[in-house]
């Protein structure tokens, strides 16, 4: 097991795990989770890569301040962590909420990203599990303590262990959901969860949608990884995003759920190794990005961008 260490960034405690050697992978977990959610693949990936896996603010052993839990704020914090640890660039691997943060990082700091891996990622469509939609409702603060109560959490973990023992893949996902619920017993963690959820979700579903900018992803090697039985964010989001991201790759694990790196750790690690080995790191190219933006604007408006002439 890789032990977490801590660093202070902007006066806040940030916990992270670091191991391995080689090209840098920055692993970004999902909502209610922590860097511990990557444990099933840390040893394998650490044999080929340098791994940095932080606990986002409001999660795990990191601080839970009153503050900004938006995707942009989280992306900026990841940038600052890279700087503090002496890393210039990374391949970002984002799971669920972490996928949305990874995409925001790529948008804000294109000079610091080499590749993008989106694992059961948010930000690619409206649909999301009803529980997360309900967590954004007024008064959810009063209900969450009941859902996070020890008897319910213990029951969820026990179901997960039973399913795992029976060889059913749903086991790891159930256990991870129960582990996430358990963190909400703490008041500060619960407040941070609500702020985080409301920053990206409303009762109608996900309200942060990156699909209008996916055409820019052709400047960054991108891999989408999903389970075809994901009950939290449906696999159709991955299929549609793959079609909208020129040059992207898509890996779908049959029978896997919302945590494909738990259901298929060996296959997940192999997919990442192959992706990194067979792609070149993205190179900052502001002229190319400008051209893509202007061409898309022209296509949508049916006009010629300013500064260009018709031919």
What are the residue boundaries of the structural domains of the chain, listed by start?
5-129+204-301
**Arithmetic mean of pLDDT over the chain:** 85
Catalytic: 230? yes
Q: Is 209 a catalytic residue?
A: no
What is the predicted pLDDT for the residue at 170?
A: 44
Q: Which fold has domain 5-129+204-301?
A: Rossmann fold (3.40.50)
Q: What percent of the chain has pLDDT over 70?
A: 83
Residue 291: name the closest of 215, 191, 221, 199 by CA: 215
Q: Check residue 145 and give its pLDDT.
A: 61
From the list 96, 121, 172, 269, the catalytic residue is: 96
Q: Which residue has the higher pLDDT, 56 or 208?
A: 56
Per-residue confidence at 77, pLDDT binned at 50, 70, 90? very high
Confidence class for position 182, pLDDT limits 50, 70, 90 = low
Catalytic-labelled residue, pool 95, 242, 258, 262: 258
Residue 260 pLDDT exceeds 70: yes
Quickly count: other Cβ atoms within 10 Å of residue 22's Cβ.
Answer: 13
Q: Give catalytic status of residue 8 as yes or no.
A: no
Give me the catalytic one of 230, 242, 261, 269. Answer: 230
| Neighbouring-strand partners of residue 53 | 17
178 φ, ψ (degrees, to nearest 5): -65, -40
- Tokens for 165, please give them: 């023992």
Confidence band of 307 (pLDDT split at 50, 70, 90): very low
Pairing of the two strands 12-20 and 50-54: antiparallel
Question: Does the pLDDT at position 301 exceed 70?
Answer: yes
């Amino acid at each position: 097991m890789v032990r977490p260490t801590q660093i202070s960034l902007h006066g806040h405690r940030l916990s992270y795990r670091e191991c391995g050697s080689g090209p840098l992978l920055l692993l970004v977990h999902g909502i209610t989770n922590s860097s511990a959610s990557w444990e099933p693949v840390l040893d394998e990936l650490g044999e080929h890569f340098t791994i940095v896996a932080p606990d986002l603010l409001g999660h795990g052993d990191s601080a839970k301040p009153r503050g900004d839990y938006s995707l942009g704020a989280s992306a900026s914090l990841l940038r600052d962590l890279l700087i503090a640890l002496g890393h210039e660039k990374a391949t970002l691997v984002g799971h669920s909420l972490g996928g949305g943060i990874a995409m925001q990082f790529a948008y804000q700091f294109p000079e610091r990203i080499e590749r993008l891996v989106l694992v059961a990622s948010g930000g690619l469509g409206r649909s999301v599990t009803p529980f997360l939609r309900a967590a954004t409702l007024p008064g959810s603060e009063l209900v969450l303590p009941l859902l996070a109560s020890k008897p319910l959490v213990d029951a969820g973990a026990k179901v997960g262990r039973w399913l795992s023992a029976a060889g059913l893949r749903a086991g790891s996902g159930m256990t991870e959901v129960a582990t996430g619920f358990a963190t909400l017993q703490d008041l500060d963690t619960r407040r941070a969860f609500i702020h985080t959820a409301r920053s990206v979700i409303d009762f109608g579903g996900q309200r942060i949608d990156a699909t209008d900018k996916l055409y820019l992803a052709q400047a960054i090697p991108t891999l989408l990884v999903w389970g075809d039985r994901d009950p939290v964010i449906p696999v159709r989001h991955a299929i549609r995003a793959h079609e909208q991201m020129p040059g992207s790759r898509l890996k779908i694990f049959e029978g896997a759920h919302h945590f494909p790196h738990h259901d298929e750790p060996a296959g997940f690690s192999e997919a990442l190794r192959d992706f990194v080995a067979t792609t070149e790191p993205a190179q900052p190219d502001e002229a190319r990005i400008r051209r893509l933006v202007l061409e898309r604007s022209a296509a949508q408006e049916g006009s010629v961008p300013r500064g260009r002439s018709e031919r």
